[in-house]
Amino acid sequence: MKVTVFSTKRYDRRSLTEANHDKHEFTFIQDRLRPETVALATEADAVCPFVHDIVDEEVIRTLAENDCRLIALRCAGFNNVDLEAARKYGVTVTRVPAYSPYAVAEFAVGLILSLNRKIHRAYSRVREYDFSIDGLEGFDLHGKTVGIIGTGKIGVVFAGIMKGFGCKLLAYDPYPNEEMKALGAEYVSLDDLFAQSDIISLHCPLMKQTHHIIGAEALPKLKKGVMIINTSRGGLIDADAAIEGVKERIIGALGLDVYEEEEGIFFEDHSEGIMDDDRLLRLTSFPNVLITSHQAFFTRDALANIADVTIRNLDQFEEDGKCEFSL
């Protein structure tokens, strides 16, 4: 199959090429897939977009008109794809539902440790030969209550790690997970989780029901000084509410690997320009906010798994037009 890969970085080219074994013909495009760039895929049998590509009805219609019948997402999330339009035009959409729950869960724990023990601030001080420890005080994780919103594979792995620290586990998910219960987690209402949790970590997908699950209405329900971690999707947290929560000392620490307006910002180098996103600038100005650039998934193991499943989706579609992980 001829496959046009959008939003390509060096690591995408390497991992997909290694997994492909010359079975499919790849064209790697650095730009994002969107209405202005979809013409680059006019000769393709399939396109391979990433999380920030715009796969709306216009894009899907153009792909269908050029006999491209497969959108092979190389990510788990699919909120950027108009699935109704895909069905309308007969275009199959596949994804990589799980690539490494360990990568994301471990990164979430890393954010917790960095924020709690001020590791990122200590690193900056020492590079300036400032070896004072004033202002770097943290707290023991042992005995603290950790609320986990979303108890799929990543949430369960995260819970297992936090149990190892000796934390009490609370969970919220419309579909309780027996593995989670086996770890000793107690399923509670969202309001109870907000009220009791010293740390809240988000591991749920972005959909209508979860959009701004941490928003203005949630702020008065949160335990004062709570640490909030988001390694899932940016739209789960209302950035304006987060800023207000930090200012009012309701949110004691905030770790974001994702941001609701990250499209066009994350994964790119803007160091020579001027950042015009006022909310992101405000968030980065707080000493108790740590932002990373959507890198929780970014391990060698995860990249290899993403590539392997993507190639498998392409193989299956080429063989009989069906895919195990189609949406």
What is the CA angle 121-124-129, rounded to 5?
125
Measured over the CA atoms of residue 145, residue 150, residue 151 and residue 156, the dihedral's sign is negative
Measured over the CA atoms of residue 154, residue 157, residue 162 and residue 166, the dihedral's sign is positive
Beta strand ranges found along 206-291 (DSSP E): 226-230, 251-256, 289-291
Do residues 216 and 256 lie in contact, with contact meaning Cβ atoms separated by under 8 Å?
no
CA 292/CA 111 separation, integer angstroms: 9
Element (H, E) at 282: helix 278-284
> Which tokens is 72 given?
């092979």
CA 45/CA 320 separation, integer angstroms: 14
Q: Is 125 one of the catalytic residues?
A: no
| Active-site residue identified among 117, 294, 300, 312 | 294
Do residues 188 and 171 lie in contact, with contact meaning Cβ atoms separated by under 8 Å?
yes
| Active-site residue identified among 95, 203, 233, 260 | 233
Q: Is 294 one of the catalytic residues?
A: yes
Do residues 117 and 166 lie in contact, with contact meaning Cβ atoms separated by under 8 Å?
no
| 178 CB neighbour count, 10 Å cutoff | 8
Q: Is 117 one of the catalytic residues?
A: no
Rounded (10°) angle between helices 119-127 and 101-117 = 60
Mind telling me the catalytic residues?
A: 233, 262, 294
